[in-house]
C-alpha cells in the first residue's frame, strides 16, 4: 500500500471560497510499476465533506492510499496525481521493496 498526502490550496484571484461539500473534485492516479506493460489508472472523488469550505488562500490536506499490485516487481515506480481530467498534476517516484 502506498500512502501519501495531497494538499490543495485555494488560489482564487478574488479570494472566493470553495465549498468542497458542494463542488467536490475528482482526481486521477496513474501508477507505473516495474514489469507492467501498461499504467494502472484510476479516477476517484475526494472525500470532501470533512474539508468543508476552503477560504481564499487556505489549504486542505488529504491522505491518499493506493494499492500496489501484488505482482509488482521490486524497483522504481512512478505516480502521477492529477486534479480532475485536465487540472494540475504532480509526479513522484518511489521504490518498491519486498
Q: Are 38 and 59 in contact (CB under 8 A)?
A: no
Q: What is the model's pTM? A: 0.85
Per residue in 3-49, pLDDT (tens digit) is 999 999 999 888 899 998 888 889 999 999 988 877 899 999 998 88
Q: Which three cell numbers stand for residue 55?
A: 477560504
Q: Rounded CA gap, 66 and 48, in Å?
A: 18
Task: Determine how many CB atoms are found less than 10 A away from the CB of residue 86.
Answer: 8
For residues 78 and 92, is the Cβ–Cβ distance under 8 A? yes
55-78 pLDDT per residue, tens: 999 999 999 999 998 888 899 999
Amino acid at each position: 500500500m502506498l500512502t501519501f498526502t495531497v494538499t490543495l490550496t485555494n488560489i482564487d484571484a478574488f479570494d472566493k471560497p470553495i465549498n468542497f461539500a458542494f463542488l467536490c473534485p475528482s482526481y486521477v492516479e496513474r501508477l507505473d510499476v516495474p514489469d507492467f506493460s501498461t499504467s494502472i489508472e484510476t479516477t476517484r472523488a475526494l472525500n470532501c465533506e470533512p474539508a468543508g469550505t476552503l477560504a481564499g488562500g487556505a489549504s486542505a490536506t488529504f491522505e491518499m492510499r493506493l494499492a500496489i499490485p501484488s505482482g509488482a516487481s521490486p524497483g522504481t515506480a512512478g505516480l502521477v496525481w492529477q486534479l480532475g481530467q485536465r487540472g494540475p498534476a504532480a509526479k513522484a517516484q518511489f521504490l518498491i521493496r519486498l
